[in-house]
Structure 1
Amino acid sequence: MHAIDVRSAVPAEAAAVSRLLAAVIRESYTGTLEKDAVERLVGVNCSLPRISAEIGVPGGAPSWLGWLVAAEADQVVGAAAGGVPAPGEGELYVLCTAPERRRDGIGSALLSVLTERMRRHDARRQSVSLPTEADPALPFYTVHGFTGAGRRLSRGM
């Protein structure tokens, strides 16, 4: 097993991020959400032109801190994106780990790096919105100190 490298995504990784995110959404929400809802999530969130454009913006503005990837031997095994859209308020837009690599610490590593980026932009809270109240990622966020009711979770930083 190779070491996991968490770093800013580069343009050549856009297709890998798009494929990974689509696979994670389909694996995570099939059976939980209606098929049309799952495909809408994929369509909105996994568009290669969108991800390519977002990776092209390096993340210098607080509201957009850019895409991170977790790579192992040049293979993208996780991805995350976030920003600080309001003073003091960090927002986690995406955090995903390849389904076969869950529980390997990849999501925690991505969350840690993204949290540090948010702190550098004066975020004191961090929030995430989940597609469903029965979200399979809920235990991950709970372990990391996120609380809340419904689909919106947050934690102090």
Structure 2
Amino acid sequence: MQLADVRAAEAADATTISRLLAESIRGSYEEILGEIPTRRLVSAQCALPRIRAEIEIPGGAPGWLGWLVATGADGDLVGAVAGGVPVPGEGELYALAVTPGARRGGVGTALLAATSDRMRAFGATQQRVTLPSEQDPSLPFYEQQGFTPIAAARLNRPL
């Protein structure tokens, strides 16, 4: 998988981001959390009106840095990440999803690097992520990126 671009999400990306995020949550958490908690997570995190609103926040909002997307060489969206700096000095990763066919190809790493750069530009010196479960399948990825546990299912790393 050759990554073509990481860029700010546009309104036209909202449906694809919503679908990608929902598929990622279902695929990662249904066996771990169960069907009903997974449905609740998808409902809360992946609603198209929510994604559209988050993309279209004019000039951003306090603490919100927005969505970034990654596209493959063919122009198709293969990943998305959302983050912000809700507390001075502390970046927070809200979502990171990569299509199954693009995983282990550097897409997640590229998205994390791009959002980390944005967070640093807004004064973040630490970066955190909260995972839905202690058995989260993305835990090895985050550990490889330098995150360490600060609580159950909550990780941190210096930026």
Task: State the TM-score, normalized to the length of structure 2.
Answer: 0.94
- Structure 1 residue 4 displacement after superposition: 2.5
Q: 2 CA distance for matches of 1:23 and 1:142?
A: 23
Percent identity over paired residues? 55
Contact 2:4 2:70 in 1 (8 A): yes
Structure 1 residues 119 and 58, CA gap change in structure 2 (3 angstroms): farther
* Ranges in structure 1 where 5+ consecutive residues have no aligned partner: none
Q: 2 CA distance for matches of 1:154 and 1:5?
A: 27
How many residue pairs get aligned? The number is 157
- Structure 1 residue 62 displacement after superposition: 5.0
Contact 1:62 1:121 in 2 (8 A): no
Structure 1 residues 98 and 75, CA gap change in structure 2 (3 angstroms): same
Structure 1 residues 124 and 59, CA gap change in structure 2 (3 angstroms): farther
Question: What is the root-mean-square deviation in Å for CA atoms of aligned residues?
Answer: 1.3
Amino acid of the structure 2 residue aligned with 1:113: A
The structure with the greater share of residues assigned to strand is 2
2:101 aligns with 100
- Structure 1 residue 74 displacement after superposition: 2.4
Q: 1 CA distance for matches of 2:143 and 2:64?
A: 24
- Structure 1 residue 146 displacement after superposition: 0.3
Contact 1:58 1:66 in 2 (8 A): no
2:17 aligns with 17
Structure 2 residue 146 is the aligned partner of structure 1 residue 145: yes
Q: Which moved more, 1:99-108 or 1:50-59?
A: 50-59
Structure 1 residues 82 and 58, CA gap change in structure 2 (3 angstroms): farther
- Structure 1 residue 2 displacement after superposition: 4.8
Q: 2 CA distance for matches of 1:96 and 1:54?
A: 16
Contact 2:3 2:70 in 1 (8 A): no
Contact 1:9 1:67 in 2 (8 A): yes
Q: Secondary structure at the match of 1:31?
A: helix
Amino acid of the structure 1 residue aligned with 2:67: W
